[in-house]
Chains A and B, each alone.
Chain A
């Protein structure tokens, strides 16, 4: 077998194992809930039979591993269980399936993340490469300080400053990103502009700094020095000699930051009341709606792991030393 294929298969296997362990952790979290939460959720006035039925539905009469198998079996088939909210002491069940809650919101979250990624990746790469090119110039220092500042700011600060200038003082964009499925694409982009800009500002800074570091790291290697001594121009050195070798770290940087986006969306969604998975999760945490919390956590964790995994694989593939083994 080609060694590179073996490495990739190893990484994939490791990814599957990680996903499995993470799902066990997320599942077992519900075990730590204090007391009898069937009673707590249904309220003091709940009938004895209602509580017993709810306990049975949660599977509290089964051992933990059986419950895990049931849960993970459902998840694989797209069934995350039913939400706790909408339950009533009288036994009337108006609760909704978790998957119905998550599915439309997941689409919105992915749309927002994709939009932020499309804007931020090119900007960050251009800024990073040019900063490495004009290293130690005033341009480099300014970009560096600005990005350091923007990294250090909490997302909600950036968001509210943008709201202040673009929504409150000048009414360019709407404050609330009110998205529903029937909104057209153009209108949708317009309404998502401010949250996407917030995410972009935070992400660009990270990506730019890491791109710059990756390229400068390469500039210290002997073959670059050789090219320099030959009298090759700076731009050619960066574009012809450094950049091809920098692709692997840069792709890693991009994937890492896309994974960071996954977490960043939570706060930004709450600021702009954007109907995404992050907001759903925060609401569920407030009301202790465990099936929804578990579903959201699993989706976030899986996305995060998959992005990191694909970054790993791309950097293996783009490494010439691994592609052509001796």
Chain B
């Protein structure tokens, strides 16, 4: 062999201490095997997160700073022009990343806390509590969630807190079903029984025995739920019932500038202005879906082939 060094023996190769791969090496290996779509998705997500965190540094103007020229065309001064009140569209896009993504993340986390927690409890309890929760969720899921959200918003009024609470509760039903279904498979395992006989507390059983085994499914679901919640909030804002002005938000930006699309034949850049926030929403959900698709493929036999 050309690559064998002098003094090489098979015994030394076999008896060499095998170092466990570090986390970093594992990440690199994982990334190498990722398909281009997943890499693209991760790149996009990272970019969005950076923009959201450093929004005040990136944005040239203040979030609701008003200039005297409404509907200004694209120029060096206003990169993507100004909106109907004369606010810089680029600045609003940057701040919109922070608000829209932040609210969607908070909603998803809340939905997972409620749905995941109750799902685990239902799977372990399996008595009247399980029955009660499952039937309750069945009924909630019988109403289309956007319609339900619209109805609840008309009662409680649309504020950011209400949106987060309403959508989190409606979405937690799906998380509940999934968590309960996967946890049921784990609860019947012998090692859970053993832990119970050992006298471990409920918290330990959930944390150390069940959660590690259902984590991959939940992580993938987190991605899917996030993009669903994100789209729902965007749709509500677009309908004028979500995040209220003057908070910069992509859904309402599309709504406010939608009229510009009529002028596409005179100035194509003007027509693109309402499409920018809509595109920003689409790009993020596409990216998340690509990553989740790859993750599901990697961690489970859920996918075909």
Chain A interface (Cβ < 8 Å from any Cβ of B): 18, 21-22, 25-26, 29-30, 32-33, 135-136, 145, 148-149, 151-157, 160-161, 163-164, 168-169, 175, 213, 216-217, 220, 259, 262-263, 266-267, 270-271, 281-282, 284-286, 288, 290, 293-294, 296-297, 300-301, 304-305, 308
Contacts and interface: CB of A to CB of B under 8 A. Distances in A.
22 contacts: A152-B289, A154-B282, A155-B235, A160-B258, A160-B261, A160-B274, A164-B264, A168-B261, A169-B264, A263-B147, A266-B147, A267-B239, A270-B239, A281-B147, A281-B150, A282-B239, A285-B151, A286-B240, A293-B154, A297-B148, A297-B151, A305-B142
Contact of A285 (B231, B241, B279, B288): B241
A263 to B, nearest CB: 4
B261 A290 contact: no
Contacts of B10: none
A135 B286 CA distance: 22
B50 interface: no
List the 6 closest pairs (A to B, CB-CB), nearest first.
Answer: A168-B264, A152-B285, A157-B278, A285-B154, A153-B282, A152-B286
Nearest to A159: B278
A43 to B, nearest CB: 18
B304 interface: yes
Contacts of B281: 153-154, 157
Interface of B: 37, 138-139, 142-148, 150-156, 227, 231, 234-235, 238-241, 254, 258, 261-265, 271, 274-275, 278-279, 281-282, 285-286, 288-290, 293, 304-305
A148 B151 contact: no
Given A22-B139, A148-B289, A270-B239, A154 B278 contact: yes
A32 B156 contact: yes
Contact of A152 (B264, B278, B282): B282
A19 B146 CA distance: 18
A29 B275 contact: no
Contacts of A33: 155
A221 B152 CA distance: 46
Contact of A282 (B150, B254, B304): B150
A270 B238 CA distance: 9
Nearest to B241: A285
Given A157-B282, A263-B147, A300-B147, 15 more contacts: A22-B142, A25-B139, A29-B152, A135-B304, A136-B305, A152-B289, A154-B234, A154-B285, A213-B304, A266-B239, A282-B240, A282-B241, A294-B151, A297-B143, A297-B150
Contact of A164 (B144, B239, B261): B261
Nearest to A293: B154
B151 A293 contact: yes
A80 to B, nearest CB: 14
A134 to B, nearest CB: 14
